[in-house]
């Protein structure tokens, strides 16, 4: 594992996240947010590890802007901006929730507190189930609910979900944190009226390569090569194909690739009772004394 690349990617992602947090996005479209945040990542010399997610209100995760998406942020919306930078495939994954209605400040703060409490307790040898317990306790003590079926994850080169889960609740099937592995921790919080679980929604606008098997359609195969060369196995958005294809053609080719199971489409994840969700996320590497938070930011 290339610690230096994890650190570099993390410094960029952390810096971009903090700028994102400070900005007032009211009146902006999700398209403008995604394009601006992605260009900030690239300007600093990293690649995007995945399309910037701008999931609003009861949508917990996995929404990114469609080309020219006109969905516009109001001063009542709660927006989870989840961004990823990568250097040579070594990923920094981090998120912030922005909201301009003070009614939701506490819901935002509790996700941050749960993340901070998890960061404070992790070191080599700590059990993942104990981290889940701490996150769950922090959230429930505040009168809210963790999203039980969303979790953090181990990271590997060009792999965002590398097999181990960092749970947001106490759960069986535990592992102990080891050195030389990167992880993301990402508590999701909903109100006491929420279900505390997400289900899949209808919208799918994040994709990833699933197979490089030829499709018998020459242009679809060219798109498959383009995806592999530019994004490897990491997620991408339709927006990212429009330098090479016109929008309608790109949509048609993507339909072919999805049907042939060469590309996987990820559905948005929606709170089960339709209640609002907040999120906070850091990428970290455990050590003897604690953790190195790569996405700490300044």
Where are the extended beta strands (E) located within the chain?
47-56, 59-61, 78-87, 90-99, 145-146, 152-155, 165-166, 182-185, 188-190, 198-209, 263-271, 277-279, 282-286, 291-293
Which residue pairs from 161-164 have beta carbons closer than 8 angstroms and sit at least 24 positions apart in sequence?
Answer: 164/128
Q: Is 5 an annotated catalytic residue? A: no
Scan residues 207-266 and list those touching Mn ion (CB under 5 A).
Answer: none
Q: Please say if 281 is a catalytic residue.
A: yes
59, 131, 184, 291: which one binds Mn ion (CB under 5 A):
184
Q: Determine which residue in the list 15, 66, 69, 93 makes contact with Mn ion, applying CB under 5 A.
A: 93
Is 82 an annotated catalytic residue?
A: yes
User: Which residues 56-85 are close enough to bind Mn ion by CB under 5 A?
Assistant: 82
Answer yes or no: 221 catalytic: no
Paired tokens of 66: 């469609």
Whether 264 is a known active-site residue: answer: no
Give min distance, CB of 212 to Mn ion, in A.
25
User: Of the listed 32, 38, 82, 136, which one is catalytic?
Assistant: 82
Is the CB of residue 279 less than 8 Å from the CB of residue 74? no
Cβ neighbors of 181 (< 8 A, separation 6 or more) are 1, 154, 155, 285, 286
Helix, coil or strand: residue 173? coil
Distance from the Cα of residue 59 to its chain's centroid: 13
- 106 tagged catalytic: no
Nearer to Mn ion among residue 40 and residue 82 (C-beta):
82
* Span near Mn ion by CB under 5 A; candidates 3-11, 18-26, 178-186, 214-222: 178-186
**In the complex with Mn ion, which residue's Cβ is closer, 53 or 113?**
53
Contact 272, 195 (CB under 8 A): yes
**Residue tagged active-site, from 5, 15, 66, 153:** 153
Segment 258 to 287, residues that bind Mn ion, using CB under 5 A: 281
Least distance in angstroms from the C-beta of 106 to Mn ion: 22
- 5 near Mn ion, rule: CB under 5 A: no
Q: How near is the Cβ of 211 to Mn ion at its closest, in Å? A: 24
Going across the sheet that includes 277-279, the strands are 145-146, 188-190, 277-279
Which residues are identified as catalytic? 82, 93, 153, 161, 186, 281
Q: Which residues in this chain contact Mn ion in the complex, by CB under 5 A?
A: 82, 93, 95, 184, 281
């Amino acid at each position: 594992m290339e610690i230096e690349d994890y650190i570099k990617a993390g410094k960029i992602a952390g810096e971009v996240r903090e700028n994102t947090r400070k900005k007032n996005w009211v009146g902006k479209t999700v398209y403008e947010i995604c394009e601006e945040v992605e260009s900030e990542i690239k300007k600093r010399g990293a690649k995007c590890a995945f399309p910037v997610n701008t999931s609003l209100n009861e949508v917990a995760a996995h929404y990114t802007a469609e080309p020219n998406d006109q969905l516009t942020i109001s001063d009542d919306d709660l927006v989870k901006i989840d961004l990823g930078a990568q250097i040579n495939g070594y990923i920094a994954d981090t998120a912030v929730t922005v909201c301009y209605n003070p009614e939701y400040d506490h819901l935002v703060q509790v996700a941050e507190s749960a993340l901070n409490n998890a960061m404070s307790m992790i070191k080599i040898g700590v059990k993942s189930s104990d981290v889940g317990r701490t996150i769950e306790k922090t959230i429930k003590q505040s009168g809210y609910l963790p999203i039980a079926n969303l979790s953090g994850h181990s990271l590997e080169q060009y792999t965002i979900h590398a097999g181990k889960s960092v749970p947001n609740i106490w759960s069986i099937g535990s592992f102990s944190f080891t050195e030389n592995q990167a992880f993301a921790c990402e508590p999701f919080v909903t109100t006491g009226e929420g279900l505390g679980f997400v289900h899949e929604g209808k919208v799918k606008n994040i994709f990833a390569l699933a197979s490089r098997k030829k499709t018998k359609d020459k242009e679809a195969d060219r798109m498959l090569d383009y995806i592999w060369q530019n994004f490897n196995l990491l997620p991408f958005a339709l927006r990212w194909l429009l330098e090479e294809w016109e929008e309608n053609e790109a949509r048609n080719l993507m339909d072919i690739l999805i049907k042939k199971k060469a590309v996987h489409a990820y559905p948005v994840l929606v709170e089960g009772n339709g209640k609002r969700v907040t999120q906070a996320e850091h990428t970290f590497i455990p050590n003897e004394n604690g953790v190195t938070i790569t996405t700490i930011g300044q």
